[in-house]
Amino acid sequence: MQASVLLLKPKNLVEIIKIQTTILKSIHDFMTDRGFLQLMPVLTSTVTDPLWPDPGSTIEGTPKIKYAGRELTLTQSMILHKQVAVAMGLDKIYIMSPNIRLEKSFRKITRRHLFEFTQMDFEIKGASMDSVMSLVEDLVIYVLERVKKERAEELEKLGRDLKIPSKPFPRYTSHEMIEKYGKEWEETASKLHDTPFWVTCFKREFYDREDPERPGHYRNYDLIYPEGYGEALSGAEREWEYKRIISRITADGLDPKNFEPYLALAREGLLVPSAGAGIGIERLVWFATGAEHIGDIQPFRRVPGEEIFL
C-alpha cells in the first residue's frame, strides 16, 4: 500500500468504525426481532432503479458492464428486486444493499454525497406508509440509544452529544417545505431542526404510489436528520398494477424496454401491494459520529469529484 493512503486516514477512524459496528449490529437485531428476513444484495442486473425523476439525485448515467455477451447494469437501488422478492412470498425483507450512483462532481461540496454507499433497504407486503414511518422511528431511536449506551467513550472522544429523539417525529409535506424554505429546502430545514423529521409527498420515480384519492399527490416519505445532516432515508407505498406502472414510466419519458423483465411480471398481475424504505448506512454513521464530511467516516473515500486512492 502506498504510504500516502495511510497518511489520508480519517481522524478518529477507530472510534468511528466502532460506532459503525454497533450501528450495524443494532440494525440487524432490530430487523430480525421484528420478523424480517435478510436477503443478500445483487450487484449486477438486467433492470435497476432509474433514479429519475428524482429531486435528490444528479447522476451522470447508469453504470453498466458487459458480461457474457450482454449488458448488465450495476445496482442503483434494489427497489425493483424488493418488489419482486415480496411477490415471491418473502413478506418482510431487508438487505444491506451496496448502491453505485455516479453523482456529478459538484456534489463533493454537499458534504453528504458518495458515489458508492450501502443502504439498509426493506420492504413489507401490504404495509401502509404510516406503519413504515412508525417502524422507522422505532429503528432510529433504538439504534441511537444503543450507540449512546455502548459507545459512550467513543462519542465523548469525538465530542458528539447525541440526542435521542422521541416519537412521533414531526411531519411536513414537500409543498410546505418548498413554500417555507424554497426549492433547496433540505439543508436549511435540517439546520433549523433539532430532531429528525418527515417530509412526504414527492413527485419522483414511477414505483412510488400516487394517492388514488388525490391525483398529483404521492404516498412517499423522506426522513431528514437535524443539524444540517439532511436526508437519512427515503421510501414509499408502491405502485403494483401494470396500467399504473406503464403510464408512470411513459409519462416520465423512460423507455419501457429497459424495464421489461419487471414489467412482464406486472403485466401478468404478479406484483403485490407493499411499502418500504432504505436508510443510508454511511449517512447514519456520519450523523451519529458528527463527522465534518461523510467521506470522513470512510477508510476508502468515495466522494464524487475527489481522487480515488484505493
CA–CA dist 94, 135 (Å, integer): 13
Establish if 235 lies at the interface with ligand ASN (CB under 6 A): yes
3-state class of 259 per DSSP? helix
| Residue with Cβ nearer ligand ASN (40 or 68) | 40
Q: Which stretch binds ligand ASN (CB under 6 A): 28-36, 190-198, 274-282, 302-310?
A: 274-282
Torsion angles phi and psi, residue 112, rounded to 5: -125, 10
Establish if 276 lies at the interface with ligand ASN (CB under 6 A): yes
Establish if 121 lies at the interface with ligand ASN (CB under 6 A): yes
Mapping DSSP onto H, E and C, the string for 5-73 reads HHHCCCCCHHHHHHHHHHHHHHHHHHHHHCCCEEECCCCEECCCCCCCCCCCCCECCCCEEEECCEEEE
| Least distance from ligand ASN to the Cβ atom of residue 163, Å | 26
Establish if 278 lies at the interface with ligand ASN (CB under 6 A): yes
* Binding residues for ligand ASN restricted to 53-112, rule: CB under 6 A: 77, 79
Residues of 261-295 as b/e, b for ≥16 C-beta within 10 angstroms? ebbebbeeeebebbbbbbbbbbbbbbbbbebebbb
CA–CA dist 16, 261 (Å, integer): 41
Member of 236, 266, 281, 294 binding ligand ASN (CB under 6 A): 236
| Least distance from ligand ASN to the Cβ atom of residue 121, Å | 5
Q: What is the DSSP string of 262-281?
A: HHHHHHTT----EEEEEEEH
| Least distance from ligand ASN to the Cβ atom of residue 57, Å | 8
| Least distance from ligand ASN to the Cβ atom of residue 158, Å | 28
CA–CA dist 126, 139 (Å, integer): 20
Member of 234, 274, 289, 298 binding ligand ASN (CB under 6 A): 234
Cis upstream peptide for 168 (omega within 30°):
yes
Q: Which stretch binds ligand ASN (CB under 6 A): 17-25, 145-153, 188-196, 228-236?
A: 228-236
Q: Which stretch binds ligand ASN (CB under 6 A): 134-142, 143-151, 233-241, 300-308?
A: 233-241
Establish if 118 lies at the interface with ligand ASN (CB under 6 A): no
Q: Are 229 and 292 in contact (CB under 8 A)?
A: no
Count of positions on this chain that bind ligand ASN (CB under 6 A) = 11
| Residue with Cβ nearer ligand ASN (26 or 77) | 77
Establish if 50 lies at the interface with ligand ASN (CB under 6 A): no
Q: Is 290 left (phi over 0), alpha (psi -120 to 50) or beta?
A: left
Q: Which stretch binds ligand ASN (CB under 6 A): 87-95, 159-167, 229-237, 242-250?
A: 229-237
Binding site for ligand ASN (CB under 6 A): 49, 77, 79, 119, 121, 234-236, 276-278
